[in-house]
Amino acid sequence: MNKIITKFSRNLIIAVFILAMGGYETYACVVQGKELFWHNFPDKKLDLEISYAGYYNKDADNHPNAGSWRQQDLTTQKFFDFYDIKPGDFGEGTIGLRLKHQDAWGCATIRPTENDDNGSTEPELFEDAQNVAADKWDGELAKKINFKIWADVCSKRYVKAGDNVFQPDCDRLITSGTGPLQELDLVLADTENPNVFNGNMGPLKKNKNYYIGVDWNIDSDVGNIIQTDSYKADITFFVQQSVGNQDFRCADIRNDDPDKCSDGAIRNCYSGDFDKIDIGICRSGTEACVQGNWGNCSGEIFPDKEICKDNLDNDCDGQIDEGCPPICQRVSDCDDHNSKTDDNCVNKECVHTEKKNLKR
């Protein structure tokens, strides 16, 4: 995990990854995923792991060719990264979610960040206006991409959940349409809406695999109008512990957006293992909001090598001076029952030296 914030009164995990698509003869920027943690209950951990299997210009066949990984915390993985899209292209991706430690409510948001024309080549100019360099929303690619997103839950003979094949008779459609140009909120499970994976009211369950299928395609007759275009969007998953949050609504999640802050605001932070906070010498730090953005985390203390006789838990494992020679008050405290050594107590530390044979 990348960061832990300890200011808020309830657990909240936000996992962000990027969708980047570029029309043919263009390039697209790729941004890695990240996960942010709000954690204020050390005895009630909340952990979200994400898996992925992507396909490009082929049907799902258990051999993804557009990126894949098993369930894990996000680090440098990349999602939906295509830079040479042509008319008739299509792709699929299965996103797996798994909660550890406790049940949670879940939401998702698709936030477009670009639909840019990028340039004006001669074939495209026959169908499109001249590119406006300063306008990153003058492209046509978004409205030419057809999307379908569903809860991939169908499980029957020859069909299993998470196969990224939409079965209209038993998978559960979440949304469909062209690439969104406005922020699109998706409720997976909250206190006001049925759980999209089973149709019942209730949170996502811990230690259970949930799969979301994503299908996209470009019409084969779209022509040259998408040439050089690029479309990008942030796809964000939010999960929050269900215990103690009986009124949680996905509609309220924007008010807790971690990337929004007022200048001068200060919050706690930790970029190490959050299980170590307040154990031994380990402490969280603070970060300040400058020009609307959170700054670097400063003052945090991480585990270190154990230092003997300082009476501190330097490695933050709940033990003080483990592995160090025992402290003594007298020579008898140092008896190691070895007849070949002399036992001594020096500066409260036991010292054992090999006996030397005396010559007569």
C-alpha dist (Å) from residue 290 to 8, 265, 266? 20, 8, 10
- Shared domain for 110 and 141, answered yes or no, is yes
Domain that holds residue 267: 261-318
Contacts 24+ apart (CB under 8 A), 326-333: 326/350
**Mean confidence (pLDDT) of the chain:** 77
Instruction: Convert the pLDDT of each residue in 85-131 to its tens digit.
Output: 888 999 999 999 999 888 999 988 888 888 887 655 655 444 555 54
Sequential DSSP letters for 240-288 = EESTT-TT--GGGGGGG-TT---TT-EEEEB-S-GGGTTSTT-B-EEEE
CA 17 from chain centre, in angstroms, equals 8
Tokens of 152: 């991939």
Q: pTM here?
A: 0.62
When mean pLDDT is compared across 47-56, 249-258, 292-301, 315-324, the lowest value belongs to: 249-258
- Split at pLDDT 50, 70, 90, the class of 29 is very low
* Of 230 and 314, more confident: 314
* Of 247 and 4, more confident: 247
- Shared domain for 183 and 271, answered yes or no, is no
For the four alpha carbons of 62, 66, 69 and 73, in that order, the dihedral sign comes to negative
* Of 245 and 292, more confident: 245
Sequential DSSP letters for 17-56 = EEEEEEESS--------EEEEE---TTS--EEEEEEEEEE
For the four alpha carbons of 50, 51, 57 and 61, in that order, the dihedral sign comes to negative
Among 211, 240, 256, give the residue marking a domain's end.
256
- Shared domain for 177 and 291, answered yes or no, is no
Q: Check residue 211 and give its pLDDT.
A: 95
- Shared domain for 181 and 136, answered yes or no, is yes
- Shared domain for 99 and 216, answered yes or no, is yes
**For range 30-34, the mean pLDDT:** 35
Instruction: Convert the pLDDT of each residue in 140-197 to its tens digit.
Output: 888 888 999 999 999 887 888 888 889 999 999 999 999 888 888 899 999 999 999 9
For the four alpha carbons of 255, 256, 260 and 265, in that order, the dihedral sign comes to positive
* Of 283 and 11, more confident: 283
275 phi, psi to nearest 5 deg: -70, -15
**For range 302-317, the mean pLDDT:** 89
Domain total in the chain: 3
Q: Which of 69-73, 189-193, 296-300, 330-334 has the highest mean pLDDT?
A: 189-193
- Shared domain for 79 and 139, answered yes or no, is yes
- Shared domain for 108 and 28, answered yes or no, is yes
Please give the span between the terminal C-alpha atoms of the chain, in angstroms, as a whole number: 69
- Shared domain for 226 and 288, answered yes or no, is no
